[in-house]
Structure formats: C-alpha cells, structure tokens
C-alpha cells in the first residue's frame, strides 16, 4: 500500500463507444491535467530552493525564475551566512536530541502496553483501550496549562535541568511521549492482535517466558509496523512547533529547528536571504527520511487512518 506500488492493469481502458480520436484527446487531456497539477504542487518548493542558491542582491531585485536562464549565478553564501548568523547549527543538534528520545520512549512503552492489550487478560482491559482510542482525537491544547504549571513548579524546565547536569529536554520528552502514546498503542495493539496465537502458545509450551516471547517472537515479527511507527513519530516530533514552543520556547539555545525557523521568520523581515537557506536546512532530515523510507511512512499513515 505504498506510493511506490500497486497499479491496476485494467484501469486505463477508455469507453468502448468513443472513437479513436476522442480517445486520443482524452489521454492527452489526462496527461496535461496530471502534469499541470504536479507542477503547481512543485513550484512553491522549487521557487524557494532556487532562491536559496541565488546571491543576495538578485533575490531582492528579481524573481527566482530569472535564475533559470543564463547567466547561471549560484552560490552557497546564503547557507554559510545562515549557519554563522543564526542558531540553526545548534538547533539541528537540539532537534535530534528532542526527536530521538521522544520517539524511543513512546514507541517502547506503547509496545509493552500493546502486548498486554493484545495478549493478556486483565480487568477493565477493553475500557482502558477504548479510552486510548478516545484520546486520539483530544486536542493537545487541553493539556498545556496544567502540564506546564507542573513542570515549572517541579523544576522540569531547561535552565534548572541544565544546572543539575541533566539534558534540558526531559520535560519535552515526557510530554511528547504522553502525547504520542494513544496513537502508538492503538497502532501496535491492532498489529499484535493479528499475529497468529499458535506462535506464542507453542513457545510457551517450550517453556519460553513472557520476556522471551516479547523480544524474540513479537518484536521481530513486528518490524514493519514498528518501522512505520518510528518514522511517523520521529517526523511528527521533528516537525512539531507548538509543543516545543510551549515547553522550551523560552530557551532559544535548546529549542529545535522549527522554533528557530519560526523565530527567524518573524525577526528577519525584509532580510529573508538567510531564511531561504534556513528553511531547506530544516528540511534535510525529513526529506532524507521520507525519500529513503517512504514505503514505511505511507504505511504508517494508512494504518493510522484506515481504521479497523
């Protein structure tokens, strides 16, 4: 079910009644429409990409399309100035430090919980699972004020954590973990339930403990589901602006790329030369992940919305 697979062979047949000419015209119009739509979708990104390699004075004096005709005058100046004059270099490190634990923690905890939801019996199991499904739709805004108040009163804020020698992002990790859990648990529990139960039963007869079943049987069988989930959660956290603004927005030196990029957008005004480079710098990781692991990413999205 990825973008990269599944075309139906018989989908191209045109109405039998149509004449050869009408058929040709229809095919032609179809291709024009498809290519036009795709171009319209590409132009915004292309425009900024081209601009980001143009010399500063050119960006201000003429449109990006002028750069596509001779003389071809491209430069990396915007990127190097952006890295020198903004926080973006440190921000990409911060983004990794935010996104990796904020992916590892919820996915692992969700895998534990999904195992229990799918293969163990305990009182209230179905109701608790139902609560997780309900929480999928709850806006995160509903949690910000109390969680922030709690963090501030218990010293789980960047300054204090740094002075204790701890990573300043712990609050953000915990919040992202809580926010990511309903979806992660839902997705994994649905996957685990579809695994054949004889596998576990025979393993248990052979004397395998719960841990062995989990780490040796369930985890290896779930690699596709786990991969989709990891990519989905990682990109979600990497691209998140709001949660980061709420919990570390006041500390620019520990803030991730999105927060810094948004700050640059608001502060640069007319000097948007640096912004062009910064925007693409922030996209490098998502684009690499997307292009190399597209299949899993799309599968995660499909699993998340095509319910049942």
Partner 1 sequence: MDFSVLLTDIPTLVFVIVGVPAVLVGYIVGAEYLVRRLPDKNRPQVRPWIWVGPAIVFVAGFLLIPAVGTLVQSLQDQHGNFVGLQNYADQLGGFPSGGAWIAIRNSIIVWLILYMILVLTFGLTMAVLFDRVGYETVVKSLIFMPMAISSVASGVIWKFMYWYQPADSPQTGTLNALVTFLRHDPVAWLQDQWPAGLAILNNLALITVATWGLTGFSMVILSAALKGIPGELLEAARVDGAGELTIFRRVIFPLMMPTVVVVGTTLVIFAIKVFDVPYVMTNGNFNTDVLALRMYNLLYLSHNNGAASAVAIVLLIAVVPVLVFNLRQFRAVEARR
> Mask of contacts with partner 1, 115-144, x by CB under 8 A?
xxx--xxx--xx-x-xxxxxxxxxxxxxxx
Among 25, 28, 41, 74, binds partner 1 (CB under 8 A): 41
Cβ of residue 202: shortest distance to partner 1, in angstroms? 19
Q: Which is nearer to partner 1, 233 or 258 (CB)?
A: 258
Q: Does 217 bind partner 1 (CB under 8 A)?
A: no
> Min. distance of Cβ 204 from partner 1 in angstroms?
12
Q: Which of 24, 25, 28, 37 binds partner 1 (CB under 8 A)?
A: 37
Return all residues near 216 (Cβ < 8 A) that are at least 6 apart.
Answer: 203, 208
Determine if 163 is a binding residue for partner 1 (CB under 8 A): no
> What are the DSSP calls for the chain, one per residue?
--TTS---GGGGPPPTTS-HHHHHHHHHHHHHHHHHHHHHHHHHHHHHHHHHTS-HHHHHHS-GGGGGSSS----SHHHHHHHHHSSHHHHHHHHHHHHHHHHHHHHHHHHHHHHHHHH---TTHHHHHHHHHHHTTS-THHHHHHHHHHHHHTT-SHHHHHHTTS-TTHHHHHHHHHHHHHHHHHHHHHHHHTS-HHHHHHHHHTT--HHHIIIIIIHHHTHHHHHHHHHHHHHHHHH--HHHHHHHTT-TTT--HHHHHHHHHHHHTT-THHHHHHHHHHHHHHHHHHHHHHHHHHHHHHHHHS--
With CB under 8 A as the contact rule, the residue among 31, 68, 155, 202 that binds partner 1 is 31
Q: How far is the CB of 198 from partner 1 (least distance, A)?
A: 18
Map the footprint of partner 1 across residues 167-196, applying CB under 8 A.
167, 173-175, 177-179, 181-182, 185
Q: Answer yes or no whether residue 38 interacts with partner 1 by CB under 8 A.
A: yes
* 301 lies in the site for partner 1, by CB under 8 A: yes
Contact between 109 and partner 1 per CB under 8 A:
yes
Candidate list 24, 34, 199, 219; residue touching partner 1; CB under 8 A: 34
CA distance 132 to 89: 38
Is 23 a binding residue for partner 1 by CB under 8 A? The answer is no
Show the binding pattern over residues 231-270: x = contacts partner 1 (CB under 8 A), - = does not.
----x--xxxxx--xx--x-------xx--xx--xx----
> Between 126 and 206, whose beta carbon lies closer to partner 1?
126
Pick one of 23, 47, 160, 195: the residue that binds partner 1 (CB under 8 A).
Answer: 47
- Residue closer to partner 1 (CB basis): 148 or 221: 148
């Amino acid at each position: 079910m990825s973008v990269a697979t599944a075309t139906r062979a018989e989908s191209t047949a045109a109405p039998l009644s149509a004449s050869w000419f009408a058929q040709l015209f229809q095919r032609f119009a179809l291709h024009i429409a498809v290519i036009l739509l795709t171009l319209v979708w590409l132009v915004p990104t292309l425009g900024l990409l081209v601009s980001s390699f143009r010399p500063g004075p050119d960006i201000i004096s003429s449109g990006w399309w002028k750069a596509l005709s001779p003389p071809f005058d491209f430069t990396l100046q915007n990127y190097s100035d952006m890295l020198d004059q903004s926080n973006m270099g440190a921000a990409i490190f911060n983004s990794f430090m935010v996104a990796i634990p904020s992916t590892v923690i919820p996915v692992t905890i969700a895998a534990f919980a999904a195992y229990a939801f799918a293969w163990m019996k305990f009182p209230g199991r179905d109701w608790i699972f139902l609560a997780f499904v309900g929480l999928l739709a709850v806006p995160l805004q509903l949690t910000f004020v109390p969680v922030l108040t709690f963090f501030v009163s218990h010293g789980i804020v960047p300054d204090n954590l740094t002075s204790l020698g701890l990573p300043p992002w712990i609050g953000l990790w915990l919040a992202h973990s809580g926010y990511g859990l309903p979806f992660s648990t839902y997705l994994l529990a649905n996957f685990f339930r579809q695994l054949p139960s004889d596998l576990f039963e025979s393993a248990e007869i052979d004397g395998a403990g719960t841990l062995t079943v989990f780490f040796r049987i369930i985890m290896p069988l779930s690699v596709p589901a786990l991969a989709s989930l990891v990519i989905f959660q990682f990109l979600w956290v990497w691209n998140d602006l709001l949660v980061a603004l709420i919990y570390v927005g006041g500390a620019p030196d520990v803030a991730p790329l999105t927060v810094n990029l948004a700050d640059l957008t608001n502060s640069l005004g007319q000097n948007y030369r640096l912004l062009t480079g910064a925007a693409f710098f922030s996209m490098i990781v998502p684009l690499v992940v997307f292009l190399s692991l597209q299949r899993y990413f799309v599968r995660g999205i499909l699993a998340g919305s095509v319910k049942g």
